[in-house]
């Protein structure tokens, strides 16, 4: 048996659809995470969270890319988890972009610093200190930093329930809209 042959059914053994010509456009209904919505309703629900025009176009593009990946997760459930993980990174990109807009990316000496060098949590704290993240939202922002770190540095691939991922997408849209008010 070749090494590839050992892994040809790895998706099926984990309850996931093995994509073929015949089932390409069929819902991926995982036994533990069944789809509760038809294809059209899933698309409608995924399209409901909207970003305000005040959100930068760069961040909006990243958000839309994550959203479309989530929509296609109807056909292959692992895409829903990947889209959720990407949406956490979109939120981070929003934080970095907003800090740049506000000129908050400076060392104590007053010299500009490169935003990628600043930890995400520090940027959230800087936005809070500047009054851009209200106290009532700070706990949610901190949890999003934790979720982003956990998903970006996780050891094992995850599968997420579609409704949980959709809820995260809604929260992220709300936070971005409030950040770019």
pLDDT in tens, 108-158: 665 665 566 788 889 999 999 999 999 999 999 998 887 787 777 666 567
Is 103 part of any domain?
yes
Paired tokens of 142:
């901190």
DSSP character string of 20-66: -TTTTTS----SSS---S-HHHHHHHHHS----TTS-HHHHHHHHHH
Is 137 part of any domain?
yes
Is 154 part of any domain?
yes
Rounded to whole angstroms, the Cα distance separating 108 from 54 reads 29
Is 22 part of any domain?
no
Q: How open is the CA angle 129-134-140, to the nearest 5 degrees?
A: 105
Boundaries of domain holding 45: 38-179
Is 105 part of any domain?
yes
Tens-place pLDDT, residues 7-48: 666 777 766 788 888 988 888 776 666 677 777 899 999 999
| Domain count within the chain | 1
Tens-place pLDDT, residues 157-168: 677 788 889 999
Is 159 part of any domain?
yes
Paired tokens of 157:
């691939």
Is 3 part of any domain?
no
pLDDT band per the 50, 70, 90 thresholds, residue 1: very low
CB 165 within 8 A of CB 84: yes
Is 112 part of any domain?
yes
Rounded to whole angstroms, the Cα distance separating 119 from 133 reads 17
Which strand (E) or helix (H) includes residue 143? Answer: helix 135-152
């Amino acid at each position: 048996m070749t090494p590839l042959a050992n892994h040809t059914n790895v998706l099926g053994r984990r309850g996931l659809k093995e994509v073929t010509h015949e089932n390409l456009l069929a819902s991926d209904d995982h036994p533990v995470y069944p789809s509760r919505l038809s294809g059209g309703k899933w698309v409608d629900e995924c399209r409901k969270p909207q970003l305000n025009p005040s959100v930068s176009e760069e961040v909006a593009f990243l958000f839309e890319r994550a959203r479309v990946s989530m929509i296609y997760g109807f056909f292959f459930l692992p895409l829903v988890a990947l889209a959720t993980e990407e949406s956490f990174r979109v939120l981070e990109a929003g934080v970095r972009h907003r800090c740049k807009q506000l000129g908050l990316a400076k060392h104590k000496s007053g010299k500009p610093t490169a935003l990628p060098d600043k930890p995400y949590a520090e940027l959230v704290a800087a936005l809070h200190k500047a009054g851009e993240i209200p106290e009532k939202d700070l706990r949610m922002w901190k949890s999003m930093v934790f979720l982003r770190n956990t998903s970006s540095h996780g050891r094992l691939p995850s599968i997420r329930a579609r409704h949980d991922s959709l809820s995260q997408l809604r929260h992220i849209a709300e936070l971005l809209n409030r950040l770019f008010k």
